[in-house]
Amino acid sequence: MGSPTGVLMANRDKLLSVAEAQEQVLQQARPLPPERAALEPALLGWILAEDVVSDLDMPPYDKAMMDGYAVRAADLSVGKAILTVIEEVTAGRTPQLPVGPGQATRIMTGAPVPAGADAVIPRERTFLAEKDRVQIEDKPPQPGYNVMPRGREMRRGQAVVAAGAVLRPQEFGTLATVGRTAALVYPAPRVAVLSTGDEIVEADVTPGPGQIRNGNGPMLLAQIQRAGGLPHYLGIARDDVDSLRSRITEGLKSPVLVLSGGVSAGNLDLVPGVLRELGVTAHFHKVEMKPGKPVFFGTHQEAHGLQPVGLKVPPTLVFGLPGNPVSALVCFELFVRPAIRRLRGHSHTGPYMAQAVLADDFAYRTDRPTYYPARLERHKSGWQVRPVPWFGSPDLRGLTEANAFVLFPVGDHQHRAGQTFAVLRVEERD
């Protein structure tokens, strides 16, 4: 039976590779229009959408880097001197007197260095001989010793944080330093989740004969949260065209719609057909991978939400994930998460692949590249990966022991401990 989208027919001989499919997704995923937001801690990890310029020189004056005495370096050409202390300057105060030959000003870290002085001798190198006389013993200082000159860190008008920067603590601090309390950022996309299937009931229901609980809904909502999207649950659609049509129409109002179930080749796998009927363009349906082969990706070019006139609205990205929970989880990490990250303005979309050595021998035979649930652990010798006990794509419980997927190649292999494999990480990213 051919795919309702026709895409399968065209690709019957050669399925798209995961990398090719990811490329197609990223081609369609464009960052959402930037929005102005208050720079609050909740924006940690968001992406800045403007170049931010400094409104001042930093430091704003020649600044003492140590507690000690501001002096003229020339007075210490032999490293020793007894100088007259003319005033004391603490942080937040400004010096009133210039330092002349034979003079020094007692100064605290962060305070402005007085005119005439060009070096700060640390307090440990000094000795207060009498009330206003300080004796100094240090190596002869260079001009600029322990002084951070005005504008060394940044100059007024200079770009200090560029568009595309990830907002980390140091960006929050820098933006505050240049007087910013708000900035343009890429907003988090709302990501709608629709579970499908006549047999699916919600978690608070005791399943009747032939029924199973909706594990995918809560799982996908949590994945969306982890990926930086705003999870939006649409419930369960039945395997009939009317039910699917109304829920999908609702889902197309979000920038991203994620469905689970109904994309395989069964009689009641109606999702791709309904999507097409509602104007979704299919980009792929089926990918060379296990689990998750039936995965569908399409786009829908209609306005979601209110947008300013003339602004081209990015298409809604539609992902039809297979119903088996592990397939859905893996497909989300490989295709949906990178798309969410791109919508949020990230240049690094992932997925996050690592290399690790196999901990134990593992015989495995597969006809498609396989993402096998595994435990990835750091050992003294480097990263090690160990497949966990697992009973195939319906077995989500097996994943509670896993924190990654080891990628096994096609063929009948006796993989050996110590061999290196690619690993899909789904946790603890930087």
From residue 388 to residue 427, the character string flagging contacts with ligand AMP as x (rule: CB under 6 A) and all else as - is ------x---------------------------------
Contact of residue 324 among Mg ion, ligand AMP, none (CB under 5-8 Å per partner type)? ligand AMP
Cα gap 120→244, rounded to integer Å: 74
Contact residues for 129 (Cβ-Cβ < 8 A; gap 6+): 82, 135
Cα gap 364→268, rounded to integer Å: 32
* Choice from 68, 112, 217, 261 touching Mg ion (CB under 5 A): 261
Cα gap 142→116, rounded to integer Å: 14
Stretch of 142-150, 186-194, 210-218, 221-229 contacting ligand AMP, by CB under 6 A = 210-218
Burial class (CB in 10 A: 0-12, 13-18, 19+), 176: exposed
Cβ distance to ligand AMP smaller for residue 54 or 327: 327
Rounded to a whole number of angstroms, the minimum distance from the CB of residue 256 to Mg ion is 21
Cα gap 347→333, rounded to integer Å: 17
Element (DSSP H or E) covering residue 339: helix 337-343
Rounded to a whole number of angstroms, the minimum distance from the CB of residue 48 to ligand AMP is 37
Residues 58-97 interacting with Mg ion (rule: CB under 5 A)? none
Inter-residue contact 192 to 232 (CB < 8 Å): yes
Q: Is 216 in the site for ligand AMP (CB under 6 A)?
A: yes
Q: Is 322 in the site for Mg ion (CB under 5 A)?
A: no
Contact residues for 91 (Cβ-Cβ < 8 A; gap 6+): 108, 109, 110, 111
* CA angle, residues 228, 233, 236, in degrees to nearest 5: 140
From residue 318 to residue 357, the character string flagging contacts with ligand AMP as x (rule: CB under 6 A) and all else as - is ----xxxx--------------------------------
Rounded to a whole number of angstroms, the minimum distance from the CB of residue 399 to ligand AMP is 13
Q: Is 260 in the site for ligand AMP (CB under 6 A)?
A: yes
Other beta carbons within 10 Å of 19: 10
Q: Is 215 in the site for Mg ion (CB under 5 A)?
A: no
Cα gap 9→286, rounded to integer Å: 11
Cβ distance to ligand AMP smaller for residue 206 or 381: 206
From residue 285 to residue 324, the character string flagging contacts with ligand AMP as x (rule: CB under 6 A) and all else as - is -------------------------------------xxx
Cα gap 343→294, rounded to integer Å: 24
Cβ distance to ligand AMP smaller for residue 214 or 403: 214
Q: What is the DSSP string of 28-80?
A: H--PPPPEEEE--GGGTT-BB-S-EE-SS-BSSS-EE-SSEEEE-GGGGTTSE
* Choice from 197, 298, 314, 373 touching ligand AMP (CB under 6 A): 197
Q: Is 197 in the site for Mg ion (CB under 5 A)?
A: yes
Q: Please, what sign has the CA dihedral across residues 100, 102, 105, 107?
A: positive
Cβ distance to Mg ion smaller for residue 262 or 373: 262
Q: Is 325 in the site for Mg ion (CB under 5 A)?
A: no
Q: Is 214 in the site for ligand AMP (CB under 6 A)?
A: yes
Q: Is 264 in the site for ligand AMP (CB under 6 A)?
A: yes
Stretch of 143-151, 258-266, 349-357, 359-367 contacting ligand AMP, by CB under 6 A = 258-266
Cα gap 21→15, rounded to integer Å: 10
Cβ distance to Mg ion smaller for residue 68 or 323: 323
Q: Is 262 in the site for ligand AMP (CB under 6 A)?
A: yes
Rounded to a whole number of angstroms, the minimum distance from the CB of residue 294 to ligand AMP is 7
Cβ distance to Mg ion smaller for residue 286 or 425: 286
Q: Is 31 in the site for ligand AMP (CB under 6 A)?
A: no
Pairing of strands 212-213, 281-285: unpaired
DSSP β-bridge partners for residue 236 = 195
Backbone angles phi, psi at 291, to 5 degrees: -80, 170
Other beta carbons within 10 Å of 423: 23
Q: Is 370 in the site for ligand AMP (CB under 6 A)?
A: no
Interface ranges with ligand AMP (CB under 6 A)? 195, 197, 199-200, 212, 214-217, 260-264, 266, 269, 322-325, 394
